[in-house]
């Protein structure tokens, strides 16, 4: 399918996912802990998707195979990824974090090759190298990371796309056949909420809204709704436009993540950020390009 008919949905989806780091950064600046923010985002969006499934009579299956899939995808693709990402966002710009997201398909392809799911070609290796070079350049002085002392947190944040990549590989390896993607997303998000609740209670990061003076509580339903809408758009794009077109949302996520960071926090990147982004985009194109 051509990309033009899907462009409005791609722009909305990319804008929502690009805005998420900034929303999280705003919420945590008010005192909401990372795991507390992630829990309510997961629970709220899971509830929204469950209602949609119920209205469309789509069952959320609870057999052993599905529960194993929900647990693995929910832990790596949401709970652990959010723990890493939201913790790092307290120390790095949201725009820099957005530049890390194109690493997800690159690391996924490498992992799939190691597991024998995909063929590792020279084009994909070259794309991954370019993407990693772009991220490394983004950490240099005069690029997307203004404070050299934040390099440690920047490297820590790079674990977030690794978590998403592991979740993608789990999705291919363990996803039960015949499962409706929307119900799989709802089950995954409920599992993520359970993990985030347990981790939050264990680490003292569980957050109960409206029990203090946290002004960021108003952001929790906004993020939950945004996440639910994003998942709904994502799966509709997969069905109507295919995976190749849907994967182009990665470009929009990065661009909008940088734009939201500049608009909300006044983040300004140095001149080296442009070639860094160029390398990341070139790597993303080579890795996701189909013959």
Long-range contact pairs involving 206-215 (C-beta distance under 8 Å, separation at least 24): 206/33, 206/35, 206/36, 206/39, 207/32, 207/33, 207/35, 207/36, 207/37, 207/39, 207/40, 209/40, 212/31, 214/30, 214/31, 214/32, 215/30
Cα–Cα distance for residue pair 132/161, rounded to 1 Å? 12
- Predicted structure pTM score: 0.85
| Residue environment code for 231-248, b if the CB has 16+ CB neighbours within 10 A, otherwise e | bbbbbbbeeebeeebbbb
| pLDDT of the residue at 193 | 95
In tens digits, the chain (291 residues) has pLDDT values of 566 677 888 889 889 989 999 999 999 998 899 999 999 999 999 999 999 999 999 999 999 999 999 999 899 989 999 999 999 999 999 999 998 988 888 888 888 877 777 777 888 888 888 988 999 998 887 788 888 788 999 999 999 999 988 888 887 778 787 778 888 889 999 999 999 999 999 999 999 887 766 778 899 999 999 988 888 888 777 767 766 677 677 788 888 998 999 999 998 888 888 899 899 889 888 887 764
> CA angle, corner 237, sides to 233 and 242, nearest 5?
160
Using alpha carbons, select from 198, 186, 175, 173 the residue that is nearest to residue 79: 198
| pLDDT of the residue at 116 | 76
Cα–Cα distance for residue pair 231/162, rounded to 1 Å? 20
| pLDDT of the residue at 3 | 65
């Amino acid at each position: 399918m051509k990309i033009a008919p899907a462009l409005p949905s791609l722009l909305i989806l990319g804008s929502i996912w690009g805005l998420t780091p900034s929303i999280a950064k705003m919420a945590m600046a008010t005192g909401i802990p990372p795991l507390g923010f992630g829990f309510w985002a997961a629970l709220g969006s899971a509830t929204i998707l469950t209602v949609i499934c119920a209205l469309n009579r789509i069952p959320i299956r609870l057999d052993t195979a599905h529960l194993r899939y929900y647990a693995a995808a929910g832990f790596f693709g949401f709970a652990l990824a959010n723990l890493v990402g939201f913790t790092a966002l307290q120390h790095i710009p949201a725009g820099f974090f957005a530049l890390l997201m194109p690493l997800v398909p690159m690391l996924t392809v490498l992992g799939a090759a190691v597991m024998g799911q995909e063929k590792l070609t020279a084009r994909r290796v070259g794309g991954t190298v370019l993407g990693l070079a772009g991220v490394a350049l983004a950490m240099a002085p005069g690029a997307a990371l203004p404070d050299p002392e934040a390099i440690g947190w920047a490297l820590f944040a790079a674990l977030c796309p690794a978590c998403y990549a592991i979740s993608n590989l789990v999705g291919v390896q363990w996803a039960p056949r015949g499962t409706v993607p929307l119900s799989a997303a709802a089950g995954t998000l409920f599992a993520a909420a359970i993990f985030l609740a347990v981790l939050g209670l264990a680490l003292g990061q569980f957050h109960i809204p409206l029990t203090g003076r946290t002004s960021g509580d108003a952001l929790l339903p906004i993020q939950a709704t945004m996440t639910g809408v994003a998942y709904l758009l994502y799966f509709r794009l997969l069905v109507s436009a295919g995976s190749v077109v849907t994967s182009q949302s990665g470009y929009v996520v990065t661009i909008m993540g940088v734009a939201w960071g500049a608009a909300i926090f006044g983040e300004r990147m140095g001149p080296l950020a442009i070639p860094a982004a160029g390398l990341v985009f070139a790597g993303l194109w080579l890795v996701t390009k189909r013959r």
